[in-house]
Amino acid sequence: MSKLDDIVSLCKRRGFIFPGSDVYGGFAGTWDFGPLGVMLKNRIMQEWWKFFVDDREDIYGIDAAIIMNPKTWEASGHTATFADPLIECKECKSRFRADKIADGINESVTTEQFLATHTKCPVCGKESWGPIRKFNMMFSTHVGAVLPDDDEELANKNIAYLRPETAQGIFTNYKNVVDTIYPDLPFGLAQQGKAFRNEISPRDFILRDRECSQMEIEYFVNPTTWEENFEKMRNLQHVFLEQVIGLPKESIHEYEVPVANRAHYSKRTIDFMFDYPNGEEELMGLAYRTDFDLSNIAKASGKSMDYRDKKTNQVFVPHVIEPSIGVERLFLAVFSAAYTEDEIDGNKRIVLKLPTNLAPYRYCVSPLLKNKPELVAKAQEVYQALRHKYSNVTWDDSGNIGKRYRKQDEIGTPECIVIDFETLENDTITVRDRDTAKQKRIPIAEL
């Protein structure tokens, strides 16, 4: 089994992540977060929000609708260009994203360039390909009570899309925010929420999904200052990923994206790559989107997106620096950096060395023996007091102590507290450290 298989298996076994619609055999590209997973995911999202919004004076939050006026996607260029190269094997009819099955090509590959790579079909092994077609990745839906059977033309007019990026919910609210809270430039608008992409080949567990969550900031700047603000945002991403989230610095690599591979709106992009179990993959992107979006919205809506600088009276359309990260990709980075197999006293174990600020549970409290009412009562007292203080504290009185430790190691609980007979005499408890498996005895009051 690969390390990724081990992670998928642990995620299911301990209730972090289940395949989407598991009971019906799954649904490709979708995943459901279980009780432990949702705790870890929420902590990651809360840390991001605290770092980029609550602790700053220049970034504000918004929460826009997922289904937006379809004009949004015309103006943003997604209707015309948000497409991947789809290729079909003429022999077995399997379909693939061309740039993911051949080496040395990118998303803008032509049929001729693809054929020149002499790639064989990953399913049937033949080399018999149809032409490359552009496959738009937006999910469409019909809004309102008209069905194609009633009136196809009207129904087509009512087609809307599930947003493929949260960013447009920010751009389309830029004017509302400027007109209501008059922020000074530079300022940012941040949003967390679902985004949907009809990926041709969802893969690598939660790395490439059809439904994911993004955390995005559009940082509006005076165009003359875009370079310094790009650097500022670039540095902030490192601080967040390495110091707040605790990812190993050496596993993060910056990749300057060449023109041919950049999204249609970007004049500069740095992808932050991470060493995932299956190799280096994009964790997040930092893009200089210029005034592409605001100017297109101005054209499409007829509304001015001008900003008047309060000090200089200068009027211009702000330019935008955009850090964008997928929650699932960050979750997988955190999980794979924490996943460790080692040996304690000759016994193999799996241990999730999560940073304390992200671990689902801060402490696990147990009575040494489940059948001694005096131990259980004292342990409950400690448990309730800790829950009151930290909230994320769990109780475990199942099996023997060794089994409890194994379970807490696997879900990343930093410390396990055991109430024993000595506790009843002198109000001390044992605290076992997850990473070293060492125990110490301390007074309850020190917790």
Binding site residues, ligand GAP, CB under 6 A: 165, 167, 197, 199, 208-209, 212, 214, 216, 282-285, 324-326, 328-329
- Please, what is the Cα angle at 193 between 337 and 66, to 5 degrees? 150
Which of 77, 246 has the CB closer to ligand GAP?
77
At closest approach, how far in Å is the CB of 142 from ligand GAP?
Answer: 24
- Comparison of 97 and 329: residue with beta carbon closer to ligand GAP: 329
Q: Which lies closer to ligand GAP via its Cβ, residue 273 or residue 344?
A: 273
Q: In whole angstroms, how close is the CB of 47 to ligand GAP at the nearest point?
A: 16
Residue 80's alpha-carbon distances to 72, 106, 108, 389, in angstroms, are 12, 18, 14, 53
327-338 and 3-13 helices, crossing angle to 10° = 100
Residue nearest to ligand GAP (CB): 326
Please, what is the minimum distance in Å from the beta carbon of residue 435 to ligand GAP?
Answer: 28
* Shortest distance (Å) from residue 420 CB to ligand GAP: 46
Q: 295 vs 380, which CB is nearer to ligand GAP?
A: 295
Supply the angle between the helices 35-49 and 327-338 in degrees, to the nearest 10: 110
Nearer Cβ to ligand GAP (247/393): 247
Shortest distance (Å) from residue 274 CB to ligand GAP: 10
Q: Which is nearer to ligand GAP, 74 or 433 (CB)?
A: 74
User: Which residues, at least 6 apart from 439, have a Cβ–Cβ distance to it below 8 Å?
Assistant: 430, 431, 432, 433
Nearest one of 232, 226, 227, 231 to 291, comparing CA atoms = 226
Of the pair 328, 410, the CB lying nearest ligand GAP is at 328
Q: Is 362 helix (H, G, I), strand (E, B) or coil?
A: coil
Separation between Cα atoms, residue 180 and residue 139, nearest integer Å: 33
Rounded Cα distance, 426 and 443, in Å: 8
Asked if residue 432 lies in contact with residue 400, where contact means CB atoms within 8 angstroms, the answer is no
* Cα gap 255→228, rounded to integer Å: 19
Distance from C-alpha of 18 to C-alpha of 30, rounded to nearest angstrom:
9
Token pair 């051949």 is found at: 102
Give CA–CA dist 259/78, Å, rounded: 18
| Cα–Cα distance, 314 to 32 (Å, whole number) | 49
Tell me how far, at minimum, the Cβ of 343 lies from ligand GAP, in Å: 35
Side-chain half-sphere CA neighbours of 424 within 13 A: 11
Please, which residue, 207 or 411, has the CB nearer to ligand GAP?
207
For the chain, percent helix, then strand, then coil, each to nearest 5? 35, 30, 35
CA distance 238 to 389: 31
CB of 91 to ligand GAP, least distance (A): 28
Q: What angle do CA 28, 33, 39 make, to 5 degrees?
A: 160
- Tell me the C-alpha distance between 352 and 331, whole Å: 13
Q: How far is the CB of 139 from ligand GAP (least distance, A)?
A: 12
Residue with tokens 């009575």: 367
| Nearer to ligand GAP among residue 28 and residue 123 (C-beta) | 28
Nearer CB in complex with ligand GAP: 323/414: 323
At 388 the three-state DSSP class reads helix
Cβ at position 227, least distance to ligand GAP in Å? 20
CA distance 313 to 146: 49
Residue 60 in contact with residue 183, Cβ under 8 Å? yes
Least distance to ligand GAP, CB of residue 124, Å: 26
CB closer to ligand GAP out of 168 and 408: 168
Q: How far is the CB of 30 from ligand GAP (least distance, A)?
A: 11
Q: Give the other-Cβ count within 10 Å of 166's Cβ.
A: 23
CB of 427 to ligand GAP, least distance (A): 48
Q: Which is nearer to ligand GAP, 257 or 364 (CB)?
A: 257
